[in-house]
Structure 1
Amino acid sequence: MKAIVIKETGGLETLEYKDVPQPAASFGEVVIRLDFAGMNRRDIFVRKGQYPGVKFPAIPGSDGAGEIVEIGEGVEGLKVGEEVVINPALNWGDNPKFPAKEFTILGNPVDGTHAQYIKVLAENVFPKPAYLSSKEAAAIPLGGLTAYRALFTRGKLQSGETVLIPGIGGGVATFLLQMAVAVGARVFVTSGDDKKITKAMELGAEGGVNYRTSENWGKELKEMINGGVDLSVDTIGGDTFNQLISLAKPGSRIVTFGATTGLVPNVLMPIVFLKQLDILGTTMGTPREFNEMLDFYEKYEIHPVIDHVFPLSQISEAHEYMEAGNQFGKLVLEIPK
């Protein structure tokens, strides 16, 4: 079968499109012929060796959707020919509050979805929502699970609350926006690109501020909201985090699962404790949350925003495009038949 193999830590030259052996199902496993696979920034971190526990050579990719072609012994409730989507959160464990030590994510060290076929444990395989295409379903898993847990399990979002999503544009951020709008929240965004703010408003955001052109984007946003924020979901870190603290209502929440701009300098601790803020960390989610997330998508018939589809053979171009940071929505790979 054809697959993308990362041979070693490094740049785009480490990505190889090559023939590798097709996997076979062992006990409790199924083999899926993939139609589409999603891209995540994690794929770049893995390639650069910036993710814990990476090993090479390896097939990257956490998101995928396709058709079951083989079922191993001991598997019940699934059948050959069924269209499915994969939960990339492996070995979460028994405690819903945090993952077990054995937890890992599909795509390294376990071979991932950037291939024609993949074998996975049956417990990580779910029926594809019928209203979604395989391309759409493949875009959702990692980002959709992360967004769902951040908003509802950790963030306790309620209808009518005000949500701030800084750095709109990436896949998870667009999922956060669509989910929050679906339950009737007021959503505001920030970006360094006016076009991305416009696109966010087309998806239901009430407004947004360009942090590159605004002299004081925090003040401008507070005036736009006409008050404070009930829930901020942060993937950025850095100096932005203190702005989120300043914008927060007393007794409100900040959920964080990323720090793309680095560590937070000089945290405004007096504001944190005087406002009685809850600052909550999160990452990925449980199998139950993955199932709830799929049900949520079906209930509200949400279609993920897909920015661009690349053939699997153009993996270097896909990595380069993602690193440029100009996307709005998800990048998806089309898998050859």
Structure 2
Amino acid sequence: GVIDAIGDLSGVADNQLKVGDTVVINGGISDLTCEYCKAGEQSLCVNFKLLGEHLPGTLAEYITIPARNARSIPKDRPPEQAAAYTLSTLTAWRMVVTRAKVKKTDNVLIWGIGGGVALAALEIVRLIGAKTWVTSHSDEKLALARGLGADNTLNYTTTDIGKEIRARTSKRGVDVVLDTVGEATWTQSLVALGRRGRLVSCGATSGPMVQMDVRRLFWNQWDIMGSTMGNEAEFDIVTNEFRAGRLTPLVDSVFDISQGRQAFERLQSGQQFGKIVVRIPD
């Protein structure tokens, strides 16, 4: 978006913000007073809120956010990309880099390629140089993922994901699972996860209740982790990656605000590959 007015910038890291700047925003709002905020972990804030979930969202001509939640970007960056970038990429960065600590030697399973977080995770994992395994219900989406550099593609409607990965890795399994789905994929995630593996969950789109055999947890010495959005330091990192052009979101489609219903219908169809953007007229 573009800054229309500015209040107090004291205590703001990027305090050079000015009216007319093009910015990306961090949609996670923290109170900055709790012990987690003071430790630099704003997404763990005891009063953490998300725009569009706990607070009014961004499908509007004007929004009000704390100045510290905005970072300036070059005016020549496509506004559709800027709009699609931060939430998914910040979430994926924390999952991949901070929580899972993915290394070049890792095998990484990413569920649901075509979604914003999954695509951002694929791009970040590829930058690191690790080997990727991605899933979808759509062969067309899997073909598109191969075009983006995915090493292994699996259709979960026709393939037993866990068994197939075990077979292809000589029973070793993967080092990291990035799961945004929850209930529907949990069992297969654990079948695919190798010894000393790390599973990171950031969502439960298919349901929140999961089960596991705790004996497998301690025997395989797994790390099961949650991850939500990102802190201010991570926000700075992903903003710099966007400024430099090293990370760029994939935009599936763009709709004018007058076509808002069509945008949501596209989202509900599950056919999108990338982010759906709604354009607000000047």
Identity of aligned residues (%): 38
| Structure richer in strand, relative to its length | 1
Q: What letter corresponds to residue 95 of structure 1 in structure 2?
A: A
2 CA distance for matches of 1:251 and 1:108?
A: 35
- Following superposition, the deviation at residue 173 of structure 1 comes to 0.8
Deviation per CA, 1:266-324: give whole Å up to 9, x if none. 41322111100000011111111111122234456222111111111211221121112
Residue ranges of structure 2 left out of the alignment (5+ in a row): 32-36
- Following superposition, the deviation at residue 83 of structure 1 comes to 1.3
1 CA distance for matches of 2:9 and 2:114?
A: 42
- Among candidates 142, 149, 173, match of residue 94 of structure 2: 149
233-242 vs 171-180, greater mean Cα deviation: 233-242
2 CA distance for matches of 1:139 and 1:278?
A: 30
What is the total number of aligned residue pairs between the two structures? Answer: 271
User: Aligned to 1:291, what secondary structure does the other structure show?
Assistant: helix
Matches within 5 A, 1:9-158: 66-74=1-9, 76-91=15-30, 93-97=37-41, 99-128=44-73, 132-158=77-103
Contact 2:202–2:228 at 8 Å: present in 1 too?
A: yes
- Following superposition, the deviation at residue 175 of structure 1 comes to 0.6
Q: TM-score, normalised to structure 2's length?
A: 0.89
Contact 2:163–2:191 at 8 Å: present in 1 too?
A: no
- Following superposition, the deviation at residue 217 of structure 1 comes to 2.9
Residue ranges of structure 1 left out of the alignment (5+ in a row): 1-65
CA RMSD between the two structures: 2.0
1 CA distance for matches of 2:54 and 2:208?
A: 26
- Following superposition, the deviation at residue 104 of structure 1 comes to 0.6
> Are residues 129 and 218 of structure 1, via their aligned partners in 2, closer, same or farther at CA, if it must alter by over 3 Å?
farther
Contact 1:168–1:189 at 8 Å: present in 2 too?
A: yes
Matches within 5 A, 1:290-329: 290-298=235-243, 301-329=246-274
2 CA distance for matches of 1:70 and 1:266?
A: 49
2 CA distance for matches of 1:99 and 1:326?
A: 33
2 CA distance for matches of 1:131 and 1:186?
A: 33
Q: What letter corresponds to residue 219 of structure 1 in structure 2?
A: K
Residue 146 (structure 2) pairs with residue 201 (structure 1): yes
1 CA distance for matches of 2:6 and 2:208?
A: 45
| Structure richer in helix, relative to its length | 2
Matches within 5 A, 1:226-237: 226=170, 227-237=172-182
User: Aligned to 1:67, what secondary structure does the other structure show?
Assistant: coil
Residue 121 (structure 2) pairs with residue 176 (structure 1): yes
Residue 192 of structure 2 corresponds to which residue in structure 1? 247
- Among candidates 183, 187, 199, match of residue 238 of structure 1: 183
- Following superposition, the deviation at residue 110 of structure 1 comes to 3.0
> Are residues 96 and 241 of structure 1, via their aligned partners in 2, closer, same or farther at CA, if it must alter by over 3 Å?
farther
- Following superposition, the deviation at residue 225 of structure 1 comes to 4.4
Contact 2:131–2:151 at 8 Å: present in 1 too?
A: yes
